[in-house]
Structure 1
Amino acid sequence: MILALFTTLVVALVIGIPIGFAIGISSMIFLLISGFPPLTIISQRMVEGVNSFPLMALPLFILSGEIMAYGATPRLMKLANMILGRVPGGLGAAAAGGCAFFGAISGSGVATTAAIGSIMGPEMVKNGYHKSFTASLLAGAGALGIVIPPSISMVVYGTACTVSIGDLFLAGIIPGLLTVGFLIGLDVVLGIKRGYRNIGGNNLTLGEHFVVFVDALLPLFMPIIILGGVLSGIFTPTEAAAIAVFYAFFLAAFIYRELKLSDIYAICAKSAEMSAIILFIMATAAPFGWIMATQNVPEVFAKALLSLSSNPVVIYLLIMILLLFLGTFMETNSTIILTAPILLPVVTNLGFSPIHFGIAMILNLAIGGATPPLAVCLFTSCKILDISVEDTFPDIIYVVVTMSIALLIVVLIPQVSLFLVNALGK
């Protein structure tokens, strides 16, 4: 029965049906074949899948990114070109670092990809980056929004498994930054090989350097204000997204005066269209994940893996492979809720820390967020750049392999994630 679910999904994707409809159709076919429950469960689960207050940050960050294009983004790009203009792949490195920074604000991989992708993606393409690599890099770095604290997924894991959320926040810092560093390294290597260099900003005088820096100060304050407010507890990530929209509008309309009244409708329409497409994919992923849960797919895979070896490290690596597989088909938080309570007792009996497992699990699922077929972050970046997922190959493979190497280091060296926790006596 479960074979019909995956077969329908693969066939639908192969013949070119949009991903959101493909996921929904596969769920409908499964329910029609099984005869129970009724098809109305799909609409119920779709509503529950997007009925989330933190998810409101997604359209708001998309909107702020669109507004930033009127004055703020060009000034930030000039600053990036000035600093990194002579570095191969410098603008891509700035994009990856920006994803890490905004990931610490939103706590969502999709919101991070949308926010940074809307700002950096078009600029990278203008500077000669291939759309395939740009979309892949933004998807991989953006997906790390769930790894770099504060993270919504860490809250979900800590609640589901009774693990200290504060310890998880500390444990996620080094693995998140390590993975970002690996992606920046990939960007530099490909930048040298493919000749990715920034246009302009390389032959400025000292006075021109100062002007560019001062001109970019106000846009640079936005992430500082937002991150400071979130970490100090003044406002939530969703409220931070609303503040980002207000601040971007203030700069564009009143400081730089590049945003006109006639532009507002087009900006809102474009943001709404992009948000609707992404949210529809996330909504249809909810009943798909629910069907997998009712059919005990995660549990069946777990039992099968545990029967393959008696070596703790081998079993741990097999569990990571299981999570990587599930992460390519299921929404991140749903996967955590469904599998963490099942897998955690097995992992702790093998002698591994629940905190270490939580970080490895979340990093693993972040990789899944950039890996087809259900790569929500990749679909987000592809939508921004107006290309299909198929167009990102083989660049998305380079990104996924690079992130997987970082994951392997985190898995095999627990102190990478536990160092700060132990150092601070937690």
Structure 2
Amino acid sequence: MIWVLIAFAALIIVNVPIAFAIGASGLLFFILEPNLPTSLALQRFAEGTQSFPLLAVPFFVLAGNLLNETGITKRLINFANALTGHLVGGLAHISIVLSAMMGGISGSANADAAMQSRILAPQMMGRGYSGGFSTSVIAYSALITATIPPSIGLILYGFVGEVSIGQLFLAGIVPGVLMTIILMVTSTLIAKKRHYTPARVERASFKEVAATFKASFWGLLFPVILIVGIRFGVFTASEAGAFAVVYAFVVGAFIYKELDWKTLNKVLKNTVEDNAIIMLIIACASILGYVITSARLPQEASASLLALTESPLLITAIVLLFLLLAGMFMESTVNTLLLTPIFLPIMTNIGMDPVHFGILMMTIVTMGGMTPPIGVTMYTVCSLSNVPVTDYMKESLPFIGAVVVFIVLLVVFPQISLFLPEQLMR
């Protein structure tokens, strides 16, 4: 097993694409293990994507791309502006509130951050906001999409860990709202200190708020229908993805009337590319996942941690710190697929609810994308906004502190994430 880990680390260091690094290092285990035929690795690769729950991923990716290309984004921006534009540092609040609303549409932190970098970052810097602050707000507000349903990460966690995706969706709602509030408070404190101006001079009238809400109603209704449908058994999480595609098509083509053949072709092209990347990673990760299970790595990791300490709080801190470090070097999808089988048994053994751990895990591994040295979201927002990474790193520290406070609250008060699942699905 040690050679597999060395090979994986070496391939990552020389910038081999992550899917191939995972697949090649997993295949090495079968080559070195005489009792396992190499054909088994190919079988695991083929079987890795043959799962009904995984149907939710391509469906939700297609639905998100459809809604993002049919005018829903600009309508949500107008609604967020009406709600928070009058506050100090109003554009920062618009970014955060927009992420909370977009989380139920895009399901992807990187996609959300990229969109906002193109639209909001120039406006923020044009009003005198520093580049580092602007990109930090956009990057860390995208973290909200890690928990707000339909989070792609939660779907993958539920699939790998055999945890109810419906319960995970419900569990992510309150933490998502709490993170929104904490990030807004952080932005307000910074904006007041630097005298950043609001996005608008006066508070929006009730009539304007109502009008912008009406214009964005069909986008806001999307996650509500998903949650209600799953809760009352109208459809499973996978079937909800299929419904989401039909819903997005109807809204784009017949309600907003911004979905034409050219836009549809672009959406389908982007969806095929996005899903190809995700599914290739999943297929390769299934090889390494089999290796992890065969080598009894979860059991050994659990025994090692228990040998260090029997304190559930200390074990939780060690696991969360490891997830954060892993998130700094690998993309959240990869971490979810590889580390869930290792750490979920450990956390359930010390009494943590698997649904609660899913919210913690997805928040932390997604946060890794906002931090150096290999944060995909960090590089995305900086490159699209033409802001030096050093400026971003310096001004992201208050937001890192805010997220740490959020994680501590989740650990100390697990009912923040478990309240809705316990009330509605148990």
TM-score, normalised on structure 1?
0.71
**In 2 relative to 1, CA 50–165 (structure 1 residues): closer, same or farther, beyond 3 Å?**
closer
Q: Is the 8 A contact 1:81 1:202 kept in 2?
A: no
Q: Indicate the larger mover: 52-61 or 269-278.
A: 52-61
Secondary structure of 1:314 counterpart = helix
Distance (whole Å) between structure 1 residues aligned to residue 417 and residue 58 of structure 2? 32
Distance (whole Å) between structure 2 residues aligned to residue 397 and residue 31 of structure 1? 43
**Aligned: 1:224 with 2:224:** yes
Q: CA deviation at 1:269?
A: 0.8
Aligned residue type for 1:78: N
**Aligned: 1:268 with 2:246:** no
Q: 1:142 aligns with which of 141, 145, 149?
A: 145
Q: 2:93 aligns with which of 87, 90, 95?
A: 90
Distance (whole Å) between structure 1 residues aligned to residue 414 and residue 206 of structure 2? 46
Aligned residue type for 1:283: A
Q: Which residue in the other structure is 2:128 paired with? A: none
Secondary structure of 1:17 counterpart = coil
Q: CA deviation at 1:203?
A: 8.0
Alignment of 1:273-284 (within 5 A): 273-284=273-284
**In 2 relative to 1, CA 99–422 (structure 1 residues): closer, same or farther, beyond 3 Å?**
same
Distance (whole Å) between structure 1 residues aligned to residue 150 and residue 36 of structure 2? 36
Q: CA deviation at 1:41?
A: 3.4
Distance (whole Å) between structure 2 residues aligned to residue 194 and residue 288 of structure 1? 49
Distance (whole Å) between structure 2 residues aligned to residue 225 and residue 343 of structure 1? 32
Unpaired runs of 5+ residues, structure 2, are 126-130
Secondary structure of 1:258 counterpart = coil
Secondary structure of 1:50 counterpart = coil
**Aligned: 1:10 with 2:9:** yes
TM-score, normalised on structure 2?
0.71
Q: Which residue in the other structure is 2:296 paired with? A: 296
Secondary structure of 2:147 counterpart = helix
Q: CA RMSD in A?
A: 4.8
**Aligned: 1:26 with 2:25:** yes
Q: Which residue in the other structure is 1:63 paired with? A: 62
Q: Which residue in the other structure is 1:215 paired with? A: 215
**In 2 relative to 1, CA 27–126 (structure 1 residues): closer, same or farther, beyond 3 Å?**
farther
Distance (whole Å) between structure 1 residues aligned to residue 345 and residue 220 of structure 2? 41
Deviations 1:157-193 (A, max 9, x none): 9968xxx999988877655544454445455556668
Q: Which residue in the other structure is 1:332 paired with? A: 336
Distance (whole Å) between structure 1 residues aligned to residue 235 and residue 117 of structure 2? 28
Aligned residue type for 1:81: N
Q: Is the 8 A contact 2:26 2:287 kept in 1?
A: yes
Deviations 1:3-32 (A, max 9, x none): x33333333333333222222233234444
Distance (whole Å) between structure 1 residues aligned to residue 70 and residue 150 of structure 2? 31
Q: Percent identity?
A: 27
Distance (whole Å) between structure 2 residues aligned to residue 147 and residue 225 of structure 1? 11
Q: CA deviation at 1:268?
A: 0.8
Secondary structure of 2:48 counterpart = helix
Deviations 1:118-165 (A, max 9, x none): 8656444454486964774366322225899xx6578679968xxx99
Alignment of 1:41-52 (within 5 A): 41-52=40-51
Aligned residue type for 1:237: A
Distance (whole Å) between structure 2 residues aligned to residue 59 and residue 158 of structure 1? 19
Q: Indicate the larger mover: 63-72 or 399-408.
A: 399-408
**Aligned: 1:367 with 2:370:** no
Q: Which residue in the other structure is 1:314 paired with? A: 314
